[in-house]
Amino acid sequence: MDDPEGWFAGLDSGDAAAGAERIRAGEASTPAAWPRMAVESGFAADTDEYYESLHEATLAATRAAVAEREGADDRQLVHAVRAMDDCRRQANELAERLAEWAGSRDPDAGTGIAYARELASRDPEDPVGREVVGLAADAVALEDRADRLGAFLERAAPEVAPNLSAMAGPVLAARLVSLAGGLESLAKKPSGTVQVLGAEDALFAHLQGDAPSPKHGAIFAHEYVRNTRPSERGSAARALAGKLSIAARVDHYSGDRRPELAAQLEERIERIRARDSG
């Protein structure tokens, strides 16, 4: 078996960039007396010089790694979730148009994206059919793009907002960040505002005095709200919004993981659901 190699193997001690790259991407099965080996191999004149090179290379490596990871920052989430919604909306619009168009030519035409997918796989029989099938392919491509953006959010949101993503799910977390205009703005919003983010129309109708106050906005998508019976939904939404805004603050200000938040929320929701409905 080969002996493990240190990050400096074969490098010139003046080449900090190459050293940083090795520190980021390299591996070894076991540690070894690297400082001594670096001196023996001529990478450094003595251990002091080795530690100096190591300091410089680890700083550069970590700086680059931090910048790259934070490049998946909250602004990117905002763009991605909006792009996903745009794609999905347009795919649905095209699917409706297709259902109408195809229905004028075929009494057995279906509806929705599923039907568009079926259409897209057909061989067109005439010039009009070619247009219909082509449009169906575009609708399907938009829907597939939306799915890919969703998969991207599943990976990216937990990097940016781990606690919020753990509790809300990555997509809803990204949507809340997007509605608030960024993670920092979300962290600064009172939980009552987080509760109705995405229900602005209903909120303004209420403020003008001719509608009840909305009980939930985007967080309606959360299982804790949707699957709680309507009479208790307001309570569930309030409890969820409270914990989500704490999660957003932890994510923005400290970056710690706080699994206890999710457990507390689960307990609270259970109690709300167990309330006597009479």
Partner 1 sequence: MTLPAGVERHAFGSETALATRGDQVSDESTDGAWRRWDLYRSKLAAMLDAGMETGLVGGETVLYLGAAAGTTVSHVADFAGPTYAVEFAARPARDLLEVAASRPNIFPLLKDARKPETYAHVVEPVDVLVQDVATRGQARVARTNRQFLDEGGRLLLAVKARSEDVTRPPAEVFEESLAELRADYEVLSTERLEPFHEDHLAVVATPE
Contacting positions for partner 1 (CB under 8 A): 4-7, 22-23, 26-35, 51-52, 54-55, 58-59, 61-63, 65-66, 69-70, 159, 162, 254-257, 259-260, 263
Give the separation between CA 145 and CA 139, rounded to whole angstroms: 10
CA 267, 188, 214, 164 dihedral sign is negative
Q: Least distance from C-beta 13 to partner 1, angstroms?
A: 15
Give the separation between CA 54 and CA 247, rounded to whole angstroms: 37
Q: Least distance from C-beta 224 to partner 1, angstroms?
A: 18
Contact 46, 132 (CB under 8 A): no
Which CB sits closer to partner 1, 64 or 221? 64
Which CB sits closer to partner 1, 60 or 137? 60
| Cα separations in angstroms, 148 against 152, 162, 174 | 6, 20, 15
Q: Least distance from C-beta 267 to partner 1, angstroms?
A: 9
> How many CA atoms does the CB half-sphere of 31 hold within 13 Å?
3
Q: Least distance from C-beta 48 to partner 1, angstroms?
A: 9
With CA atoms as reference, report the closest residue to 236 among 181, 273, 191.
273
CA angle 86, 89, 91 (to 5 degrees): 105
Q: Least distance from C-beta 63 to partner 1, angstroms?
A: 6
Which CB sits closer to partner 1, 65 or 202? 65
Which CB sits closer to partner 1, 34 or 43? 34
Give the separation between CA 189 and CA 93, rounded to whole angstroms: 34
Which CB sits closer to partner 1, 84 or 186? 186
Q: Least distance from C-beta 203 to partner 1, angstroms?
A: 32
Which CB sits closer to partner 1, 162 or 214? 162
Which CB sits closer to partner 1, 57 or 179? 57
With CA atoms as reference, report the closest residue to 42 among 6, 2, 9, 5.
9
Give the separation between CA 273 and CA 276, rounded to whole angstroms: 8
Q: Least distance from C-beta 76 to partner 1, angstroms?
A: 13
Classified as helix, coil or strand, 8 is coil
**Helical pair 127-160 and 112-120, crossing angle rounded to 10 deg:** 120
